[in-house]
Chain A
Amino acid sequence: MSLDYVKFSNGFERFMPKEYRDMVEHGPFGKKVSVSQMGSFKEILEEHPMCAGCAMTLFIRLAMIAVPNPEDTIMVGTAGCGRLAISQAAIPFVYGNYGDQNGVASGLSRGLRLRFGDKPKDVVVMAGDGGTADIGFQQVLHSWFRKERFTTIMLDNEVYGNTGGQESGMTSRGAVLKMAPLGKKFEKMDMLQMAKVAGCAYVATVVPNNPRRVESVIKKAVLIAREVGSTYIQAYTSCNIEYAIPTDKVMEDAKNVENDRYQFTEYVSEEAKQYLAERYGYKEFLPKPAAPAGAIPNKA
């Protein structure tokens, strides 16, 4: 949990694979990197077994770049496609049993605070829609009600992609899937509203066809979770296999879905706005100076 854990032990450098040496020498640890520098530094994520053209992989790749202090971050995940990539990265990954991830993260986050005090150690939960909204629903909601200070990211591919295409709570009404041939009869769960009701300090939806926005949203969520409370990001990461999207049309689909049911929304609590403005200098959240009484707007 510091810059030291990615360094070589003395004498071992020449035995390490090239990818590992690149990571230590040219990785993002201890530096500030952004999506505009992608392709110029060694990324935290390595090769992984996820399908070609998967939008979830793109989102995970962007998320790994967006976390503010990768050397002080732990990812928690659960069963599902996402963990196949999240575990192939130079960030410690804890695999919760199916549905456990927010309970595991609660303990982890509290333990890290006991051990390291004020030094920020970020816990980020990244799980699929099944892990978050169906099987892990109870633990997710309870962690929010308890205002546990970590970030929950839902990789919403709107299907159980790993097990052959069963409908999930997040599948849209009417969607016909391989293991749900009659079409889903119920509405997509409104997890955003539930997150707000449960008291999350930051709630946002995002689609990976806007890398800069993904970066900014994840940064804000992780920073707010350090002190203010739970944060929740719901990301549309299509399953091109189960929804039969040609791989070269994945971004076109993301754009269409963004215009249809996944518009960018962001809710920031007043306390979180103040925290971001005061602690991290976010100008957009600085209180606006009140106009002097009787001032006439200058239209000249």
Chain B
Amino acid sequence: MYLVADINVEICAAKSCKLCTQYCPEANTIQYSEEMGKDKGFKYGSAYVAVDRCKGCAQCVWVCDNMAKNNAIKMIMIDQLPLAAITDNITYGDKSTTAVLVSPSV
């Protein structure tokens, strides 16, 4: 098993600083979805992780904790995630993406 980043939607959708999307070294790994937060009644959308692309470096954790000071990202073993986004289930819109969450079991 290996670690991947997991973003707490409740904290992220309240702040929506999008810093993690800009600091992740991997392309299209931390994505942004308007629906993910707004559908649950939060003010903004939320960032989420495409776990099949995450290499587990935890740079986003440092950025979220120290630069944004939101503490919304934790590293978690992939088999501990019941549902997660993967690249095949992400669709792009005009200004945001939509992800259908599935079990990331490998």
Q: Which residues of A contact B (CB under 8 A)?
A: 18-19, 22, 25-26, 35-47, 50, 52-55, 57-58, 61-62, 64, 209, 211, 247-252
Contact = CB atoms under 8 A, between A and B. Distances in A.
A41 B92 contact: yes
Interface string B53-69: 10111110111001100
User: Which 9 residue pairs of A and B lie closest in terms of their CB atoms, listed nearest first?
Assistant: A53-B57, A39-B21, A52-B55, A26-B92, A248-B58, A39-B32, A247-B57, A45-B27, A57-B25
Contact of A19 (B22, B32, B87): B87
Given A22-B92, A47-B53, A248-B59, A40 B32 contact: yes
Contacts of B56: 52
Contacts of A36: 18, 22
11 contacts: A26-B92, A39-B30, A42-B92, A43-B27, A43-B28, A47-B27, A53-B25, A248-B61, A248-B62, A250-B62, A252-B66
A53 B62 CA distance: 11
B88 A18 contact: yes
Contacts of A52: 25, 55-57
Contacts of A46: 27
B35 to A, nearest CB: 12
Given A248-B58, A248-B59, A25 B27 contact: no
B70 interface: no
B8 interface: no
B6 to A, nearest CB: 14
Interface residues of B, number: 31
B9 interface: no
Given A38-B18, A39-B18, A251 B27 contact: no
Nearest to A25: B92
